[in-house]
Amino acid sequence: MVSFARNEIISSTNIVRQFSAVLKSLADKTRQKVVVIRNNEMEAVLLPVDEYERLVEAAEQCEYAEIAVAVAEREATPESAYIPFADVLAVEGIGEDEL
């Protein structure tokens, strides 16, 4: 679980009142992130744009790695394990003429 410093936690009421100052603190790296609290529950996290972009890029790289693993596994599948398309259609009750 991510932890937040005391100055990184702000209520939704105060974020409205101090929005410009909060954005400035994120831009000048005074704060790394800000969590917005509403009804004593964490509702949102504000991040600097460069940090958000870094996180999105990291998520994309993870997805690419997962795809690469899936492709490698499929390439290693012996042809004897393949199921003919006609058999798949038959199991699903679809006639080839319905395609």
What pLDDT was estimated at residue 99? Answer: 67
Single-letter amino acid code for the residue at 76: A
Q: What pLDDT score was predicted for residue 72?
A: 95
Q: How far apart are CA 96 and CA 94, in angstroms?
A: 6
Q: Return d(Cα 99, Cα 92) in angstroms, integer.
A: 13
* pTM as predicted: 0.66
Sign of the Cα pseudo-torsion (71, 73, 77, 82, in order):
negative
Find out whether 50 and 33 touch, Cβ atoms under 8 Å. Answer: no
Q: Which residues contact 96 (CB under 8 A, 6 or more apart)?
A: 86, 89
Per-residue model confidence as pLDDT tens digits over 53-90: 999 999 999 999 999 999 999 999 998 889 999 889 98
Express each pLDDT in 20-63 by its tens digit.
999 999 999 999 999 999 999 999 999 999 999 999 999 999 99
More confident of the two residues 34 and 2:
34
